[in-house]
Amino acid sequence: MHDFVVRHWRRYSTANGKKMFRYTMVSVVSTVFGFTVLGIVFGALHLWTEVPTAIFANVVGIVPMYYLNRSWVWEKTGPSHWRREVLPFWAVSVAGILLSVAAAEVARHISIAHHFSHTEATALLLAVTFAVFGFLWVFKFLVFSRLFRVAPPKATDPNLTRSPDSDAAPARQLPPEVELEDGPRDPPAPRLEHRQEAHPASLA
């Protein structure tokens, strides 16, 4: 038991482990919230049938789940970007709602076909919804990992950056042809003899 706790604590201490733990906690909150809404609206109050209840339970949790995932799980700060963050998040959430609606419709047809009581129909709806949540848990984690990814800081070359209050002038680089292993050498002197031999009449 002690080794189990230590091993999982070390895994949690890593960046990926902490992110996975927080994402799991957000998923637990979302699942408990959705099940509570299903149980109250469909089981206790008898307000709607399975499909409208599933839609309502998913829609009311989109906004708090967005901010919990963005700010707490992936620790992203600053204003949200509508095209790169908000709209994709809503698209994934709506896809999850459609899948939940389809599952709720299947549960409704099964309950009608087998003449389930209201208690049995409620239990079936919760079981189907739990299975859908399990699939969406993995799918959304993969999508949110790309959606809320924080770009690492860009590395700068210390040789190309200089303090603004420094008065020292940048070092002048020598041409590559005059740089040797034992130090720089003088450039070759002009060959005047060649010019004199080429024009002997000018020296007479």
Residue 114: per-residue pLDDT: 93
Query: Residue 119 falls within a domain, yes or no?
Result: yes
Query: Residue 164 falls within a domain, yes or no?
Result: no
174, two tokens: 């020598």
How many domains does the chain fold into? 1
- pLDDT tens digit at each of 204 positions of the chain: 666 556 656 666 787 888 889 999 998 888 888 889 888 988 888 888 877 887 888 888 888 889 999 999 988 888 888 888 899 999 998 888 888 888 888 999 999 999 999 999 989 988 998 888 788 888 888 888 888 876 655 555 455 445 444 444 555 555 555 444 455 555 555 555 544 444 554 444
Query: Residue 162 falls within a domain, yes or no?
Result: no
Query: Residue 23 falls within a domain, yes or no?
Result: yes
Query: Residue 182 falls within a domain, yes or no?
Result: no
Residue 111: per-residue pLDDT: 93
Residue 180 phi, psi dihedral angles, 5° rounding: -120, 170
Residue 168: per-residue pLDDT: 47
- What range does the domain containing 44 cover? 19-147
Residue 2: per-residue pLDDT: 61
Query: Residue 134 falls within a domain, yes or no?
Result: yes
Residue 130: per-residue pLDDT: 86
Query: Residue 10 falls within a domain, yes or no?
Result: no
The answer to whether 178 touches 187, Cβ cutoff 8 Å, is yes
Residue 117: per-residue pLDDT: 92
Query: Residue 42 falls within a domain, yes or no?
Result: yes
Residue-wise DSSP of 60-118: TTHHHHHHIIIIIIS---SPPPIIIIIHHHHHHHHHHHHHHHHHHHHHHHHHHHTT--H
Residue 184: per-residue pLDDT: 53
Strand partners, 183: 180
Residue 123: per-residue pLDDT: 92
The dihedral region occupied by 115, where left means phi > 0, alpha psi between -120 and 50, and beta the remainder, is left
Overall residue count recorded for the chain in this entry: 204
The answer to whether 15 touches 74, Cβ cutoff 8 Å, is no
Buried b (16+ CB within 10 A) or exposed e, 163-187: eeeeeeeeeeeeeeeeeeeeeeeee
